[in-house]
Amino acid sequence: MKIAVYPGSFDPVTNGHLDIIERSSRIFDKVIVSILKNSSKAPMFSVEERLTLLRKVTRNLSNVEVDSFSGLLVNYLKQKEAEVIIKGLRAVSDFEYEFQMALMNNKLNPKIETLFMMTSSKYSYLSSSIVRELASLGGCLKELVPEEIIPDIHNKVRHARGGA
């Protein structure tokens, strides 16, 4: 059974992430989308909330699992009996950091491969941070994130502002 892990912050999951999840789920027997816990970044959504959003948008993909992890990614892969890390690449600017991470992960465990998937061109400008900024400024999120989580994002912004 070929198992791959798609790690990230997913704060929140975007249509760019979902595109990578769908495409990789056609290649692997099982894809585990896993959220890094204890990241130094101050998140908009808690890990529990991000798990819920990811589960909502992947519920129709039967070979996709949603989980969270802490510590080294390579150790998590071993625990899950996975040998492939999936990463999305949007632009050349993503490459240097991702290349460094892939080489480090391969040094930590030479059995681990990183598979880079080019994002679909229509999502090349998209990131969770852009979505957070747009949402906080009241912009339209249509076509940027899955429809069913747009109300969750707007609610989060409203609550952060102290609204009802």
Angle CA 90–44–18, to nearest 5:
40
Distances (CA, A) of 137 to 140, 154, 157, 158, 159: 9, 10, 9, 11, 14
We find the least distance from the C-beta atom of residue 89 to ligand PNS, in angstroms, to be 11
Contact string 33-52 vs ligand PNS (x = CB under 6 A): ---x----------------
Regarding 7 and contact with ligand PNS (CB under 6 A), the answer is yes
We find the least distance from the C-beta atom of residue 45 to ligand PNS, in angstroms, to be 13
The verdict on whether 17 is a catalytic residue reads yes
Q: Exactly one of 72, 91, 103, 118 binds ligand PNS (CB under 6 A); which one?
A: 72
Contact 33, 67 (CB under 8 A): yes
* 3 state DSSP class of 82: coil
Place of tokens 């704060």: 11
Regarding 104 and contact with ligand PNS (CB under 6 A), the answer is yes
The neighbouring-strand residues paired with 32 are 5, 65
Scan residues 82-101 and list those touching ligand PNS (CB under 6 A).
101
Nearer to ligand PNS, 37 or 159 (CB): 37
Report residue 22 as tokens: 């769908």
Give me the residues that bind ligand PNS (CB under 6 A), please: 7-9, 36, 72-73, 101, 104-105
